[in-house]
Homo-oligomer: A and B are copies of this chain.
Amino acid sequence: MQLAFSETSPYVRKVRICAIERGLADNIELVPTTVLPTEKNPEYTRDGNPLGKIPALRLDCGQVIYNSGVICEYLDSLPGGDQLIPADASRWAVLTQHHLASGILDALVALRYETWLRPENLRWSDWAEGQQRKAFQAMDWFEAHPEMRHGPLNLAQISLGCALGYWNFRFADLDWRQYSGLKAWYAEFSQRPSMQATQPPA
C-alpha cells in the first residue's frame, strides 16, 4: 500500500499511528506529497484525492481510499492487533470523540491558514477567534471526560494525541496547559513508540 504523506500533517500522523499500533506499518510505503489549498497539484488530484488533501491510501489493486478516518477504519479491518474502533455499543462514543478531536485539528489548521498562509492585510480576527473558540470548547469537553482517556487504546485517543501534538508543534504560544488532566495524559501518551516514531520535525 502507498500512503500520500507529509511529516507535518497531523491527519497523516493519525493514520501512521493506527498502522503502527496494528502492526501494519511495514506494509505501507510513504510517498511524500505536498498540498496547499491555494496551489494546484494536478498529478495528486488526478491520481490521489481530487480534493487535494492528504492522506490518501492507494491499495495494491489501485483503489484509493480517503479521508484519514476512512483509512483508519480500513486499516482496522485488516488482520492485525487489537481493534482501534470497537464494534459494540461503545463504537458511537469512540467515533464521535474521534471527530471531536479531529475538529480541534480542523480548527487549528484553519487558524494556521488564517494567520500564516493568508496575506496579512486580509486576515479577519473574528474568524481566527472563532476557530480558537472551537478548539478550546473541544478541549473543555475532553478535560471534563477523563474516562475517554483510559481503557484500551482506540481511535479517539490517537486522534486526541495527534491534536495535542499538532497544537504544540504549530501553536506553542497558545497555551493549553491549564487543562491539567489532558496535560498529564499527553505527557504519558506522547511516549508511546507510535507517537515517538511519528513526531513532526523539530
A contact residues vs B (CB 8 Å cutoff) = 37-40, 45, 49-53, 63-67, 69-70, 73-74, 92-93, 95-96, 99-100, 103, 106-107, 113, 118-119, 122-124, 126-127, 129-131, 133-134, 137-138, 140-141
Who on chain B is nearest to A133 by CB? Answer: B40
**So how many copies of this chain end up in the complex?**
2
Whole-angstrom distance between the alpha carbons of A45 and B106 in the complex?
Answer: 16
Distance (whole angstroms) from the CB of A45 to the closest CB of chain B: 5
Who on chain B is nearest to A140 by CB? Answer: B50
Neighbouring B residues of A92 by C-beta, 8 Å = 63, 65, 70, 74
Whole-angstrom distance between the alpha carbons of A100 and B122 in the complex?
Answer: 29
Neighbouring B residues of A73 by C-beta, 8 Å = 95
Contact A63 B137 (CB under 8 A): no
Contact B95 A137 (CB under 8 A): no
Distance (whole angstroms) from the CB of A41 to the closest CB of chain B: 10
Contact B103 A51 (CB under 8 A): yes
Contact B134 A52 (CB under 8 A): yes
